Structure 1
Amino acid sequence: MPSLTVPAVPKFIPAPPSQEPLDYADLAIVDLSNANTPGGLAELALQVRNAVSEIGFFYAVNHGLTQAENERILDIADVPFNSVKDEEKQTYLANIKDQGSYQGYKLRSLWTIDADVRDQVEHYNINKDVTRKEHPKAIRPLLPEIDAFIRFNHFNVMHPILRLLALGMELPEDTFVANHQFSVKGETYIRFMKYYPRSEDDEAKTKNVWMKGHTDIGSVTALWSQPVLGLQILSPDGKWRWVKHIENAIIVNAGDAMEFFSGGLYKATIHRVVQPPKDQHGYPRLGVFYFCHPDDNTKLVPYAESPVIQRMGVRRRFEDDNAPTMEMWRKGRTSAYGLKELHKTGERVEEHDIVNGIAAKYYI
C-alpha cells in the first residue's frame, strides 16, 4: 500500500452521507478477520454460502486496508478524470465492441440507457497486470500504488472469499483459487468509475435509472463502499432495494461465472444504478471496483462433484460440451452491453442472445 512518500494528487472530497429514509437491502456483514480464529473459517463459509445463495451480495469488513489507505485510493481513482485531457483520453480508449475488453477508457455517452438517453458514466480500467497496456501520463507515477492495491484485492480479499465459496460447496478450499491465478492471462481488473449528474429531462425519460439492471460477468466483484448512494439490488421478493454505505467496507457480489461454477447455488444477483437520493443530487459518484474473472481458458461448467449441489441438484445453463470459456463469455457480454439494439419483452426486461444461445437480460 502507499509508502510515506507518494506522488501528489488532487484531494477528492466525498459527498456527505445521505440522511434520506430509504428501503435498504438487508445484507450480511462478513468479518474476514474471523478466518484466522478457531472454527472461524467454517463459520464464515456457512455465512457466505447463505448470503450468496439467498441474495448474492454481502459486505466484507476487517479486510486489512486502513481508512487512510482507502481515502488515498479514492484520490487516485479521480486522476483519470480530473487530470487527463479529453484529447489524451482518446489515445487510451478500450476496444469494447471489437475485442470485448474494457481495458482503458470507456467515455460518456457510449451506451443507450432507455428512451434514446445516453449514459453519463466514465471509467478507466487497468488489468491486474498493470504493464499490459500503456497509460496516460498522469497515471504513470501512480502505477506502483495501483499495482499494490490490485494485489491487495486479489490476494487479501478475493482469494479468501474464493476459498470461502469453495468451502461452502464442500470442495477443497483452493478449488476456485486454482483458476483465478494472478500470473495467468485473464481480464481481472481494477475499475475507477465516475457517474456525472444528468439533466432533469434525462432523469424523467429513464425513470432515474443511470445503469440498467444487470449481472456481472465474472466470478466475484468487490465494490469499495463510498457515500454517494445509487446502487440497488433486485431482492428475492422482486423489489429494488438500496445498498447502504458502510465506511471502509467492501460490497461483494457473485457474477455469472460463479453461478455457472456452482450449478445455480450462488446467485449472480441483478443490480442497477439509479439517481442518488435528494440530499445527494448534484454530486458525482466516484467508485473503485475490482472485477475478478476466472482465467481466460476456464470452461464455465458446474463443479458437479460438490456434495452440496449434488444434494440440491445441478442447474446447468449450458450442456458441458457446449459451455463457453471465460474468454468467450466476457467478450460476448462486454461487446454487446449498451451497444446493440435490444428486444423488449416487457417494461422491466430486455434481452438478446449473445453466447451459445444464452440470453443476457437487462432490467429497466
Structure 2
Amino acid sequence: MPATTLPQVPRWVPAPVTQEDIEWAELAVIDLSKTRTPEGRAEQAIIARDAMHNQGFFYVINHGLKKSQVDRLFDIGAVPFDQVDKDEKLRYEANIKATGEYLGYKLPQYWHISNGVKDRIEHYNLPRDVSRQEHPTALRPFLPEIQKFIEYTHSEIMYEVERLLAIGLELPENTFTDMHPWDETNHSFFRFMLYNPRTDDEETKTEGVWMKGHADHMTLTALWSQPVTALQIKDDEGNWRCIKHIDNALVINCGDTTEYLSGGYYKSAIHRVIKPPADQSGYRRLGMIYFQYMADQLLLKPLMESLVLQREGITKALDGDITQEAWRKGRVSRYGVTNLQKSTEDGVEYEIINGVKVKHYN
C-alpha cells in the first residue's frame, strides 16, 4: 500500500531553549509506558495522586506519539495565524460572551490585563469533533490530522491519566473516563494559541504579566510543552515558579471541576503567563492545548464513594447543584471582560460566577 502523502505546511521554528538561570518548579513526571504492568500502574497512580494533591500539575511522557508527529502539529498550529488574513479571521471569530464557548478565533485585544493594557494573545479553537464547525480555508486540508490528534489525546492519553487519578482516589479506574464520554454531551476542545511580543510600555504597565494568575475551570488541561519559558505555577508559599520545557512531553494541570469532584483533595493549580527571559525576547510563543470537560449534565459534586475522601474529608464543595455546562458557560463568557472586585488578599481580584467566588491573581 503506498504511503499517504500529507499536505505540505511551512515548518514552525521554535525559540531556542533559554540559557538563563531560572527558578524551576519541581513537577512530578508520569511515564505512561510504565502503566502496562500492574506494579508500574500502581506506582504511577501514586505519583499522579500525590502530584495532583500537592501541586495540581505534572508532566506526562512516553504517551505514544513521536516527537515528529507532535512537531508536525506545531507546524499546522501556525497556519490559522500566518496563512489566514484578518477579514477571514473576523468571519470565524467566536461569539464568546453570547455562547460561553471559545470555538473559532479569539483575536488579540479581547482580554483586559491591567492598567488599560489588553492582551496580545490570539487563538483558534476547534471542537472535539472538528466537523461541528466550518474552518478557515487554509486549515481545511489539515483537519483529518487534527482530528486524529484530538482523538488520540482524549482517548489514549487523557483517559489513561484519568484512570490513574481514579485509582489514586481508590475509585473504580473507569470512574473519570465514564464521565468524559466521546459524544455530543462532551464539549472538550482543542486550541492553537499564539502569544505575540509586546511593547516595553505594555510590559511596564502590566509588570510583565501576559495572562493573570488563574485556575482552569475544566477537569484537566493538557498543554504540549514548548520552549518559550513563560508559564508559571504558584506554590504553597505564594512563590511563582517557571515550568521547564521537556521535549515531547505534556504538562497536565488540574482544573476546578476535578477539584470539586475530589472534594478539594486534588487541587486546581494557580498558574499564569509572563514575559519570557531576555534571551527569548521577541519570539512568538505557539502553544497547543487540549481542554477536557466531563459531560454537560453532570454535577460538580464530590465523589463520596471514594475511600480517600471518606478518610480525608471534604475541603472544597459548591453550594447547590451546578452542572458542568453551567460552570463552563459561566466561566468562559466572563473571563477577562468583567470588572473584577478587589480582594482583601494582596494582589487578588475576584468575580462571582454561579454564586462562586472566582479569584484572579495579579
TM-score interval for Structure 1 and Structure 2 normalised by the shorter chain = over 0.9
Query: 2:244, 2:48 → 1: CA distance?
Result: 19
Query: 1:192, 1:232 → 2: CA distance?
Result: 19
- CA shift for structure 1 position 38: 3.5
- CA shift for structure 1 position 4: 4.1
- CA shift for structure 1 position 34: 0.6
Query: 2:121, 2:73 → 1: CA distance?
Result: 19
Query: 1:344, 1:11 → 2: CA distance?
Result: 45
Q: Deviations over 1:169-217 (max 9, x none)?
A: 0000000111101123222011000000000000000000000001111
2:329 paired residue among 325, 331, 347: 331
Aligned to 1:85: 85
**Aligned pairs, how many?**
359
SS at match of 1:288: strand
**Pair 1:350-2:349 in alignment:** yes
Query: 1:283, 1:344 → 2: CA distance?
Result: 34
Q: What's the RMSD between the two structures over aligned residues?
A: 1.0
Query: 2:205, 2:232 → 1: CA distance?
Result: 19
| Equivalent residue letter for 2:328 | R
Matches within 5 A, 1:47-86: 47-86=47-86
1:359 paired residue among 344, 357, 360: 357
User: After the TM superposition, which of the residue ranges 345-354 and 152-161 deviates more from structure 2?
Assistant: 345-354
Q: What residue ranges of structure 1 are gaps of 5+ in the alignment? A: none
Aligned to 1:100: 100
| CA pair 362-344 structure 1, distance change in 2 beyond 3 A | same
**Pair 1:265-2:229 in alignment:** no
Aligned to 1:150: 150
User: After the TM superposition, which of the residue ranges 335-344 and 142-151 deviates more from structure 2?
Assistant: 335-344
Q: Deviations over 1:117-150 (max 9, x none)?
A: 0000000000111111111111111110000000
SS at match of 1:176: helix
Q: Deviations over 1:90-142 (max 9, x none)?
A: 11111211111011100000000011100000000001111111111111111
| Equivalent residue letter for 2:199 | S
Query: 2:321, 2:250 → 1: CA distance?
Result: 31
| Equivalent residue letter for 2:272 | R
Query: 2:221, 2:248 → 1: CA distance?
Result: 16
Given that 2:127 and 2:188 are in contact with CA atoms closer than 8 Å, whether structure 1 keeps it comes out as yes
Query: 1:122, 1:246 → 2: CA distance?
Result: 24
**Matched-pair identity in %:** 49
**Pair 1:116-2:116 in alignment:** yes
Query: 1:258, 1:131 → 2: CA distance?
Result: 28
| CA pair 347-315 structure 1, distance change in 2 beyond 3 A | closer
Aligned to 2:223: 223
SS at match of 1:218: coil
SS at match of 2:190: strand
Query: 1:226, 1:126 → 2: CA distance?
Result: 20
Query: 1:56, 1:309 → 2: CA distance?
Result: 17
- CA shift for structure 1 position 25: 0.3
Matches within 5 A, 1:1-364: 4-319=4-319, 322-345=320-343, 347-355=346-354, 357-364=355-362
| Equivalent residue letter for 2:41 | L
Query: 2:82, 2:4 → 1: CA distance?
Result: 24
| Equivalent residue letter for 1:104 | G
Query: 2:95, 2:359 → 1: CA distance?
Result: 23
| Equivalent residue letter for 1:196 | N
| Equivalent residue letter for 2:341 | H
Given that 1:317 and 1:358 are in contact with CA atoms closer than 8 Å, whether structure 2 keeps it comes out as no
Query: 1:85, 1:19 → 2: CA distance?
Result: 35
* TM-score under structure 1 length normalisation: 0.97
| Equivalent residue letter for 1:339 | V
Given that 2:228 and 2:280 are in contact with CA atoms closer than 8 Å, whether structure 1 keeps it comes out as yes
Query: 2:174, 2:186 → 1: CA distance?
Result: 18
- CA shift for structure 1 position 347: 4.5
Given that 2:259 and 2:316 are in contact with CA atoms closer than 8 Å, whether structure 1 keeps it comes out as no
Query: 2:300, 2:7 → 1: CA distance?
Result: 41
SS at match of 2:47: helix
Query: 1:293, 1:193 → 2: CA distance?
Result: 19
Query: 1:359, 1:86 → 2: CA distance?
Result: 37
Given that 2:94 and 2:106 are in contact with CA atoms closer than 8 Å, whether structure 1 keeps it comes out as yes
| Equivalent residue letter for 1:362 | H
Query: 1:95, 1:187 → 2: CA distance?
Result: 16
* TM-score under structure 2 length normalisation: 0.98
Q: What residue ranges of structure 2 are gaps of 5+ in the alignment? A: none
Query: 1:158, 1:293 → 2: CA distance?
Result: 11
Q: Which runs of 4+ in 1 moved over 2 A?
A: none
- CA shift for structure 1 position 317: 2.5
Given that 1:352 and 1:361 are in contact with CA atoms closer than 8 Å, whether structure 2 keeps it comes out as yes
Given that 2:264 and 2:316 are in contact with CA atoms closer than 8 Å, whether structure 1 keeps it comes out as yes
Given that 1:297 and 1:326 are in contact with CA atoms closer than 8 Å, whether structure 2 keeps it comes out as yes
